Amino acid sequence: MLYLVPTPLGNLKDITLRSLEILQQADVILCEDTRTSSRLLQHYNIQKPLSPYHQHNEHKIVQHIADQLLAGKTMALITDAGTPGISDPAFLLVRECVKQNIKVECLPGATAFVPALVNSGLPINRFVFEGFLPLKKGRQTMLKKLATEERTMVIYESPVRLVKTLKEFIEYFGAERPCSVSRELTKLFEETFRGSLQQVHDHFAAKTVKGEIVIVLQGVDD
């Protein structure tokens, strides 16, 4: 049995009782960074073996993990923050488990784009999640495509690239396109800034940006 267990974005209280129960019961906990995950587990006095599972080794070890699951082990997969599989490793392992008829269950819990989207004030009856945009190859093609997207768009970005990305958005979407940027969700310095793309760009260009970033953009015809 493989459980996908969401972990807090920042505030350690944002974890469900069931998630804690599954982590206590698992034979092994797969995680991106053992140091990051150890802090969470120590906080809740959970003592279980940790095994690294991340984008750099998942192709090499996915079959080994599947073999352990087939042998009867119960495993929980967590990431540094949020729900596994949402711009984080999980897909390859889930696909392999499905292929080999290994039971997989995903628990509900923290996911960064949901509070950012709901808190944006933009239409949420229809939306599209794009995750991280391509850095180079295919980026311009993607931006041209998104410029005609009618649904609200949700995009992840790093703090060091935020201002540059917002400047590109102004070029492709227009300076007046409504936008919301959330950062440091659930943490001490959580911030959501809303306005036109130009206003949002100017706000973040005037400061040092830190933390995980979620950009929410209104669709072209909304």
Residue 14 sits in the same domain as residue 102: yes
**Which residues, listed in sequence order, are joined to residue 214 by a DSSP beta bridge?**
156, 182
User: Which amino acid, 120?
Assistant: S
Residue 205 sits in the same domain as residue 159: yes
Q: What percent of the chain has pLDDT over 70?
A: 100
Residue 15 sits in the same domain as residue 74: yes
The number of domains in the chain is 2
Mind listing the pLDDT tens digit for each residue in 38-83?
A: 999 999 999 999 999 999 999 999 999 999 999 999 999 999 999 9
Mind listing the pLDDT tens digit for each residue in 108-133?
A: 999 999 999 999 999 999 999 999 99
Q: What percent of the chain has pLDDT over 90?
A: 98
How far are the Cα atoms of 73, 87, 92, 211, 214 from residue 191, in angstroms, in the given order? 41, 21, 33, 10, 11
Mind listing the pLDDT tens digit for each residue in 147-175?
A: 999 999 999 999 999 999 999 999 999 99
pLDDT interval class at 104 (50, 70, 90): very high
Residue 87 sits in the same domain as residue 137: no
Residue 101 sits in the same domain as residue 153: no
The CATH number of the domain holding residue 60 is 3.40.1010.10
Residue 146 sits in the same domain as residue 124: yes
> Rounded to whole angstroms, how far apart are CA atoms 167 and 162?
9
Residue 99 sits in the same domain as residue 119: no
For the CA atoms of 87, 92, 97, 100, what is the dihedral angle to 10 degrees? 160
Q: Where are the alpha helices (DSSP H) in the chain?
A: 17-25, 34-43, 58-70, 91-99, 113-119, 139-146, 162-173, 197-205
Ramachandran bin of 52, using left for φ above 0, alpha for ψ from -120 to 50, beta for the remaining angles: beta
Residue among 89, 211, 86 nearest 159 (CA): 211
Place of tokens 């999640």: 129
Residue 101 sits in the same domain as residue 125: no
Residue 71 sits in the same domain as residue 121: no
With respect to residue 69, please indicate whether it lies within any of the assigned structural domains.
Answer: yes
With respect to residue 222, please indicate whether it lies within any of the assigned structural domains.
Answer: no
Cβ atoms 214, 132 nearer than 8 A: no
Range of the domain at 166: 113-217
> Rounded to whole angstroms, how far apart are CA atoms 94 and 88?
12
pLDDT interval class at 25 (50, 70, 90): very high
Residue 128 sits in the same domain as residue 80: no
pTM given for the model: 0.93
pLDDT of 221:
78
| Residue 222 clears pLDDT 60, i.e. is over it | no
With respect to residue 169, please indicate whether it lies within any of the assigned structural domains.
Answer: yes
> Rounded to whole angstroms, how far apart are CA atoms 201 and 209?
12
CA angle 157, 162, 166 (to 5 degrees): 110
Dihedral sign for Cα atoms in the order 92, 94, 97, 101: negative
Q: Which of 76, 106, 136 is the last residue of a domain?
A: 106
The CATH number of the domain holding residue 167 is 3.30.950.10
